[in-house]
Amino acid sequence: MSLSQNISIVHPEYFFITGLTDTPYRTYYYIFLFIIYFISIIGNLLVLLIIALEQSLHCPMYIGVFNLALADIGETNALIPNMMKIFVFDSQYISYNACLANMFFVNVFITVQTYTLVVLAFDRFIAICLPLRYHAIVNNKFMSIVFSVIWTFNTLMVTLSTSLMTRLSFCNSNVIQSWYCDYGTLVRMPCNDNSINKFIATIIEAVFLIAPPFIIIMSYVGIFLALCKITTWEGRLKALKTCVSHLLVVGSFFLPIICILMSSPTTNGRIISGSLSFALPPMLNPIIYVLNTAKIKELIRKVLKKRSAPIRK
């Protein structure tokens, strides 16, 4: 019988998160993250408020944008304040239960983001490829059901993966070489059998990291084929213009992940590229949708014009 089968399960009272230990100029990076955090929260709250209050935006596409903003706020709050705590209070210790909670919330919001982008790709696919059937297929009821399923399914999957962490024994080390309680890092640290956790990690990677970009790419292949059937360039550009915001958001989400795979193998290199890949999309998403949505820009102009108008006595 192996040693890993003889030992009891050890749960450390605390984990030690390395963060950007011994990295020069890390103070400036933490300040940069705080600026990103501030812009992300304000921008996504603004998007939520505009969509909730403006009746003309109560349509399928903006139900998707609303859910994306919710996931962005959740992910930002689950990640950046924890990094700022390490910097401001020099507190790199996190309790075992708090670590699992941090892992749970980060993974829930990240997975919701990925499938929100898939739903928005489906929305654009139907709008361009089947325009006459769009309102019959994609409506507010359909989107509400889809997002209810996404939030429920993703929460259950992440709950399963997080709860399985409790069967792992951390008897060798409690040092997490990351900027948060990263599932991928923790699953490689135990001294007992972690095959089930690795299997679940493989499933989650396939379902949430490989399948979404594949589905999105296939959606845009269909959109490209549909655009080729449009006889005029004006018509093609008009249809393609409706996809610009989504394409930019998809790029801001998945390109940083590709950069992680190509980044420096050093711990600090992975931490910087990884934290940026999680922090930048929530900041960029509201900016992209505000700048590329005529309705939202018009609403902001009206509000600013109303506020700047002189008060008549």
pLDDT (tens digit, 9 = 90+) per residue, 147-201?
Answer: 999 999 999 999 999 999 999 999 888 898 888 898 888 998 988 888 999 999 8
Query: What is the rounded average pLDDT of the residues 66-93?
Result: 87
Residue 130 belongs to some domain of the structure: yes
CA atoms of 89 and 78, how far apart (whole Å): 17
Residue 6 belongs to some domain of the structure: no
CB 281 within 8 A of CB 249: yes
Answer whether residue 239 shows pLDDT above 90: no
Residue 191 belongs to some domain of the structure: yes
CB count in 10 Å sphere of residue 2: 8
User: For position 179, what pLDDT does the model report?
Assistant: 82
Residue 276 belongs to some domain of the structure: yes
Residue 2 belongs to some domain of the structure: no
The total domain count for the chain is: 1
Query: What is the rounded average pLDDT of the residues 260-267?
Result: 60
Residue 126 belongs to some domain of the structure: yes
Angle between helix 294-308 and helix 267-291 axes, rounded to 10 deg: 70
Minimum mean pLDDT among 65-79, 239-253, 269-283: which range?
A: 269-283
CB 116 within 8 A of CB 71: yes
Residue 3 belongs to some domain of the structure: no
- Lookup: tokens for 220: 């845009």
Give the Å distances, CA to CA, from 313 to 47, 98, 221, 251, 310: 34, 57, 59, 51, 9
CB 204 within 8 A of CB 44: no
161: Cα within 13 Å, side-chain hemisphere: 25
| Percentage of the chain lying above the pLDDT 70 cut | 90
| Percentage of the chain lying above the pLDDT 90 cut | 45
Q: Tell me the per-residue pLDDT of 119-158, one tens digit each, with 9 for 90 and over.
A: 999 999 999 999 999 999 999 999 999 999 999 999 999 9
Beta bridge partners of residue 16, listed in sequence order = 93, 175
Residue 4 belongs to some domain of the structure: no
Please report, in angstroms and rounded to a whole number, the separation of the first and last CA atoms in the chain. 90
The boundaries of the domain holding residue 54 are 11-308
Average pLDDT score, the chain? 85
User: For position 309, what pLDDT does the model report?
Assistant: 59
Q: How many residues does the chain have?
A: 313
Handedness of CA 116, 122, 125, 127 (dihedral sign): negative
CATH number of the domain to which 277 belongs: 1.20.1070.10
CB 279 within 8 A of CB 33: yes
